[in-house]
Structure 1
Amino acid sequence: MERESSDPRPILYMVIPCYNEEEVLPLTSKDFLKKLYELIQMDMISEESKILFVNDGSKDKTWEIIKQLAKSDEHFEGISQSRNRGHQNAVLAGLMEAKDRADITISIDCDGQDDINAMDLMIQEYMDGSEIVYGVRNDRGTDTFFKRTSAEGFYKLLTWMGVETVYNHADYRLVSAKVLREFANFKEVNIFLRGMFPLVGFKSTCVYYKRQERLAGESHYPLSKMLALAFDGITSLSIKPIRMITVFGILVSLLSFIGVIWSVVLHFMGYSIQGWASTTSIICFIGGVQLISLGVIGEYIGKIYLETKGRPRYIISERTDDISAEINTIKKSKNGEEV
């Protein structure tokens, strides 16, 4: 359902996932609001535009801060998930909430590392006809050597696996409502957004920016979560690992067949005594290959199991809209109006 409005300026929703961000949120929320007002004053977006925070089951005071922000300015809104579901599900929840209320959405992390001034170029590209605009880092100077090399290796691995992604793009992107309505038809539970949006199609382009240091607090994306995201990206969008196992299995089978012939020949030549080391090595090698192969195949079967259940990808337990409605009701009752 398309939004009807006489205002030619698009309604923008900034979708910002938050998990335990009580230290940085009071700082970056001011920057987001300032940028929103700048875009409104430049007539690039409608005054109905919003900043939508998605609380991903935070255990600190993040949700209380979001509620206070919603009370302080009408351009702030927030939704809270019933529990922590992960960054990708939090972004998805915000996008799906905004798709029927906004013309465009821009998803961005709340840590202040992504350059919010790149939004100007993103919106301009949208006005020029692009339906998806990817925010792409032009360098990784702020990353540690390990993170830089592992991230670049990850993107190259995805490309080699046949996954269509934008190099050095994370989840800072502009997406039109038209794309989101089509994206809503993607029902998979295992989500890897940076690999899924290219599958939707439509005209797209890139905007390049320099990533900054985190303003406050610590990153909530440790190595374990990065590896889990990488594995989800590969297994959700590529079946190449299973094909590799098949090819590797054929090669091992050929080598084993050659080994059988070799042992038979040695037997008839009178050299049938075999050393325990070679036997043990072969058994360990074949056993290791089988366990690794079963693990990879099991990962795919596990994902099929989750997909067949059709569980909801996110559950919203609370909204700042509800708080605003309660405040308006109280105000009306105080003024003697009929509620």
Structure 2
Amino acid sequence: MLLSVVVPCMNEEASIPMLVERLIAATDAWRGDTEIVLVDDGSTDDTWSAICAQCAEHSAIRGLKLSMNRGHQVALTAGLMAAKGERIFMLDADLQDPPELLSDMMAMMDRGYDVVYGRRSERKGESWFKKVTAHGFYRVLNRLSDVPIPNDTGDFRLVTRRALDAVLQMPERARFIRGMFAWAGFRQIGIEYIRDPRVAGETKYPLSKMIRFAFDAMASFSIKPLQIATRMAFLTLIVAALMGVYVFGSLILYNTVAGWASTVLIISFFSGIQLLTLGIMGEYLGRLYVEAKGRPLFFVDEQAGDAVEPVVEKIANHQ
């Protein structure tokens, strides 16, 4: 198998027919040597029925249904673990990332690259708030991360088998796939494209999930938040020492001024710093707790299409 296409799907019933149509056209040059793996991430609509219908119509399509919603990154991991191709193409089901770019990515990979990722030069159909926060997210992440991660990139990419195998050896639960490929190394290059609006449905990343995803990314690839918390703790100690000098000086000079406002302000300031530091430490500690349990990332409920090997056992027991 030369090429595997992996697509995580969550409540994408309306997008599946157009997705498959464009993927079949985009992979026509490699017909007979391509598989398309659609992963249903615990959808609550008829996404799985739509996937099964496409499996019945096209022999190249395989479907995996997870036992419950595990999140985009875990669903993508499930598809990557099931993929059998020597080259693996990743994109989302909303078709904001054009599958037609595959031929250009394949040509660049023929030149010896292991990872060809898409870099968004323009984002159509998105609010100014989403554009500004996305722009800031990648810049802040790169300032905090120990590994340089390309700006304005998602999981839209083509990778070789050896690059994928390297990433699949990483067992962490809080997964940030694009960062994991950056950490793995190998020869990588970007290709710019214009990101289109969704073809149907609504975004699966509201503000709360975006914030959670952003912190997962930072915590997975950097300990700088802990270092910042330590520096803030030292800063508060310096401020406290200066305040102590001021208080004792006032007592000696009998220049004390009674006032609850300043007291409350100081207590609030130190309490906020302490709680922030504890919160950051708690996030890292919580991740250690989750990792220590060693549970499988997911379980597969059903499969559809031509499965050559018993992938359920292989991927469900992955550690």
Matched to 1:35, the amino acid is A
**What stretches of structure 2 of length at least 5 have no aligned partner?**
310-319
Which position in structure 2 is the counterpart of 1:268?
252
Please show how residues 190-229 of structure 1 align to structure 2 within 5 Å: 190-229=174-213
SS of corresponding position for 2:118: strand
Residue 259 and residue 324 in structure 1: after superposition, are their counterparts in 2 closer, same or farther (change >3 A)?
A: closer
What secondary structure sits across from 1:186 in the alignment?
Answer: coil
Residue 139 of structure 2 is aligned to residue 148 of structure 1: no
Matching residue of 2:261: 277
Q: Output the CA distance in 2 between the equivalents of 1:17 and 1:323.
A: 18
Give the secondary structure class of the aligned counterpart of 1:139: strand
Which string of whole-angstrom CA distances, capped at 9 and with x for unpartnered residues, describes residues 71-116 of structure 1? 1110111111111000000111111111xx2101111001111111
Give the AA of the match of 2:118.
G
Structure 2 match to 1:36: 27
In structure 2, C-alpha distance between the alignment counterparts of 1:172 and 1:82, rounded to whole Å: 25
Q: Which range moved further: 272-281 or 232-241?
A: 272-281
Q: Residue in 2 aligned with 1:69?
A: 54
Tell me if 1:159 matches 2:142.
yes
**How far is the alpha carbon of 1:322 from its aligned partner?**
7.0
Question: Which of 116, 123, 126 is matched with 2:109 structurally?
Answer: 126
Q: How many angstroms does 1:283 deviate by?
A: 0.6
Pair 1:107-2:94 in alignment:
no
Which 10-residue stretch deviates more, 191-200 or 316-325?
316-325
- Name the SS for the 1:262 alignment partner: helix
Q: Report which of the two structures shows the higher radius of gyration computed on alpha carbons.
A: 1
Whether contact under 8 Å (1:19, 1:56) holds in the other structure is yes
Give distance in 1, aligned partners of 2:62 and 2:39. Answer: 9
Farther off after superposition, 314-323 or 151-160: 314-323
Q: Distance in 1 between matches of 2:200 and 2:155?
A: 20
Secondary structure of the equivalent of 2:123? coil
CA distance in 2, matches of 1:64, 1:308: 36
Deviations 1:277-322 (A, max 9, x none): 1111101111111111111110110001001111111211211147
Letter of the 1:257 partner, please give it: A
2:157 maps to which residue?
A: 173
Distance 1:80 1:323 in 2: 13
Q: CA deviation at 1:164?
A: 2.2
1:236 paired residue number: 220
User: Do the aligned partners of 2:96 and 2:195 also contact (CA within 8 Å) in 1?
Assistant: yes
Identity among equivalent positions (%) equals: 35
**Contact 1:89 1:313 (8 Å CA) reproduced:** yes
SS of equivalent to 1:20: coil
Question: Residue type matched to 2:50 in 1?
Answer: I
Letter in 1 for 2:4: Y
CA RMSD of aligned residues (A): 1.6
Q: TM-score, normalized by length of structure 1?
A: 0.88
Task: Select which of 47, 62, 84 maps to 2:32.
Answer: 47
Aligned residues: 308
Shift of 1:35: 1.4
Distance 2:239 2:55 in 1: 66
- Cα deviation, 1:172-204, whole Å, max 9, x if unaligned, reads 011111111122211111101111111111111
Preserved contact between residue 71 and residue 324 of structure 1 (Cα < 8 Å): no
Picking from 309, 317, 332, the partner of 2:301 is 317
Shift of 1:140: 2.5
8 Å CA contact 2:52, 2:305 repeated in 1? no
Aligned to 2:63: 78
Structure 1 unmatched runs, 5+: 1-9, 41-45, 326-339
Question: Contact 2:124–2:196 at 8 Å: present in 1 too?
Answer: no
The one-letter code of the counterpart of 1:21 is E
Q: Which moved more, 1:28-37 or 1:81-90?
A: 28-37
Is 1:255 matched up with 2:246? no
